[in-house]
Every structure is written in C-alpha cells, then in structure tokens.
Amino acid sequence: MLDTARQLPLFEANQNESGQAPGFSVRVSPRAKRLSIKVFPRGRVEVVVPRRTSARTVRNFVEENRDWIDRARLSFGETYTPEVFRLPVEIHLPAIDLQVSVRYRPEVGSKDVRYRFSQAIVTLSGNTNNEQLCVKALKRWLAGVARRAFEPQLQSLSLLTDVPFKKMHIRLQRTCWGSRSSSGTISLNLSLLFLDPALTRYLLIHELCHGRHMNHSKRFWKLVSQFEPNYRQLDRRLGESWRDVPTWLGVY
C-alpha cells in the first residue's frame, strides 16, 4: 500500500474506516497494535486505532502529539496553499491525456444530478445548484473513466510482471494511491487520473508486486526494480503528487 500522508512513526494500518471524532477522523484497523496519526496535505488528521480503543484514549493520544500535528500541518502548508472550493468548468486528466469541459444545466424541481459525457464535454443536469450533488456526479463519471483506463493497463502489466490479480476496484481512497488485498484484489484511487502517466504505471507495478511480497522488504523492492528501475524517484514524486489533485474532489 502506498500512503500519501505524513505519519507519526508508530505502526502501519490498513483501510477499514470508522467514525469521526472532534477535530480528526478515526480509522479502526484490525492489524493495528498501537495508535498512530496521519496528517494529510491539506490538513486533515486521521488517527488509526486498534479495535476496542476508547474515545478517551484517542483524545488523549491526539493531545499528547498535538505539537507534532501542528508541525506537520505547518510543513504541508508551505506547499499546499489553501484553495477556495469551486466547481470545475474544465477538467484535465494527464494520466490519459484527456481535457474536458464541464457544463451545468439546472432543472427546476430535480432532486438529483445526472451526468452525460460526449465529445469531450461532461454535462451535469438536474439540481446543479447543489454543489455536493455535482461533485458526486463527477466522481461517478471519473470512476468509470478510471476503470476503462486502468484495467487494460493493469492486465498488460500483470502479464509483464507475471503476477496475477483477481479483481480491480476503483475508489476515492483517502489514505493511499492504491492497495492490494491478500485475496488478490487491487484497489486504485480514481485520483490517479490527475497524475503523470509514468506515476500511474509505477503505482500499478508497485501493487502488482505486492502479490509476491505483501510488505516493503528488500525482496519486494528488488522485484519492483526489475520492471521500473527508476522506482525511487517515482515513489518520491508520487508522495508529493497530491498537489495535482483538485480541491473540488474533496480528498483533502
């Protein structure tokens, strides 16, 4: 799994998300042995906790590490400047070299928002005065685009690496660019559409190689290097690429 945040160096966790707590989100991990904290590029704070951790324990842990959280947010703030939320009128997807225009067609009395894509134009129709519904419709469109773009590429790289996978899921993941389960399901973040194609290719290779090594051991990186010799530089770039994901998508 490739994380995209700065993590207090305690323990790694996986993806099962839980409820919210004041000022930060909480994610319960079956694999977590201790509490850990992640701060994301635009300031979101996530606390990863073992099962059956009390709310008081979580709050105390956050307060004990408040200085570290503030420093991480300050450091991110030097690169990720605050942006005002605006619905897009154009969307650029470098991963597939696609530039589209977005048009909004309000319909009186409509309670939802639908999308239609034709000739490089995404048209949203319905209750387009509701920004949240518009974003949800755009996410549905992007998920379809990502599936059609990444599944053939993943299949091709699976043949190249000789590492099979069982299924591919497209999600708007908040903690990583991609992940692979022990059952062989590869989950990809639809935000990859906003990245350089070289980065998306590296991410796919990375997750495929976890089919041989479900860790980041020397053997894992040796396998990755066989198919992407420039993996170190690409891995660093990937960790810095959340600046390329538009604010309106609501990831951070």
Same domain, 60 and 141: no
pLDDT of res. 18: 32
Same domain, 65 and 95: no
Q: In 3D, which of 166, 192, 197, 167 has the Cα closest to residue 177?
A: 192
Q: What is the pLDDT of residue 31?
A: 79
Mean pLDDT of 188-208: 97
3-class SS letters over the chain: CEECCEECCCCCCCCCCCCEECCEEEEECCCCCCCEEEECCCCCEEEEECCCCCHHHHHHHHHHCHHHHHHHHHHHHCCCCCCCCCCCCEEEEHHHCEEEEEEEEECCCCCCEEEEEECCEEEEEECCCCHHHHHHHHHHHHHHHHHHHHHHHHHHHHHHHCCCCCEEEEECCCCEEEEECCCCEEEEEHHHHHCCHHHHHHHHHHHHHCCCCCCCCHHHHHHHHHHCCCHHHHHHHHHCHHHHCCHHHCCC
CATH code of residue 186: 3.30.2010.10
The answer to whether residue 108 is domain-embedded is: yes
Same domain for 111 and 204, yes or no, is: yes
**Co-location of 47 and 125 in the same domain:** no
Tell me: do 140 and 238 sit in the same domain: yes
CB 41 within 8 A of CB 251: no
Say how far apart CA 205 and CA 195 lie, in whole Å: 15
The answer on pLDDT for 242 being more than 70 is yes
Does 139 share its domain with 216?
yes
Task: Give the per-residue pLDDT at 29.
Answer: 83
196 pLDDT above the threshold of 50: yes
In a domain, 85, yes or no: no
Strands in 121-126's sheet, in edge-to-edge order, are: 90-93, 98-106, 121-126, 113-118
Residue 82 in domain:
no
Question: Does residue 83 lie in a domain region?
Answer: no
- Looking at the fold, whether 69 and 142 belong to one and the same domain comes out as no
Most distant CA pair in the chain, distance: 60
Residue 247 has a pLDDT of 83
CB 61 within 8 A of CB 47: yes
Read off the pLDDT of residues 132-186 as tens digits, 9 standing for 90 and up. Answer: 899 999 999 999 999 999 999 999 999 999 999 999 999 987 668 999 998 999 9
| The last residue of a domain, from among 77, 108, 141 | 77
pLDDT digits (tens, 9 = 90+) for 74-130: 877 666 666 667 899 999 999 999 999 999 999 999 999 999 999 999 999 999 999
Identify whether 98 is part of a domain: yes
pLDDT at 13 over 50: no
How would residue 11 be classed by pLDDT, with cut points 50, 70 and 90? very low
* Mean pLDDT confidence for 218-231: 96
Q: What percent of the chain has pLDDT over 90?
A: 58
If asked whether residues 132 and 31 sit together in one domain, one would say: no
pLDDT for position 15? 30
Domain count, the chain: 2
pLDDT of residue 39: 79
Verify that 11 and 37 share a domain, yes or no. yes
pLDDT at 217 over 80: yes
98 shares a domain with 69:
no
Tell me whether residue 210 is in a domain: yes
- The verdict on residue 84 lying in a domain is no
Nearest to 60 by CA among 41, 50, 47: 47
Residues 121 and 218 reside in one and the same domain: yes
- pTM equals 0.73
Rounded to an integer, the average pLDDT of 228-247 is 90
Confidence of residue 198 (pLDDT cuts 50, 70, 90): very high
Confidence band for 48, pLDDT divided at 50, 70 and 90 = confident
Mean residue pLDDT across the chain: 86
Domain residues for the domain of 217 are: 90-249
Q: Distance (Å, rounded) from C-alpha 1 to C-alpha 188?
A: 10
Q: Are 180 and 165 in contact (CB under 8 A)?
A: yes
Where among 77, 101, 132 does a domain terminate?
77
Closest C-alpha among 192, 209, 203, 101 to residue 147: 192
Q: Which of 77, 100, 122 is the last residue of a domain?
A: 77
Please report whether residue 216 resides in a domain: yes
Q: Provide the pLDDT for residue 9.
A: 40
In the predicted model, what is the mean pLDDT of residues 52-63?
A: 90
Amino acid at site 203: L
Residue given tokens 């160096």 in the structure block: 9
Spell out a b/e string for 40-63, using b for 16 or more CB atoms within 10 Å of the CB, else e.
bbbeebbbbbbeebeeeebeebbe
Torsion angles phi and psi, residue 213, rounded to 5: -140, 110
In this structure, the answer to whether residues 34 and 144 fall within a common structural domain is: no
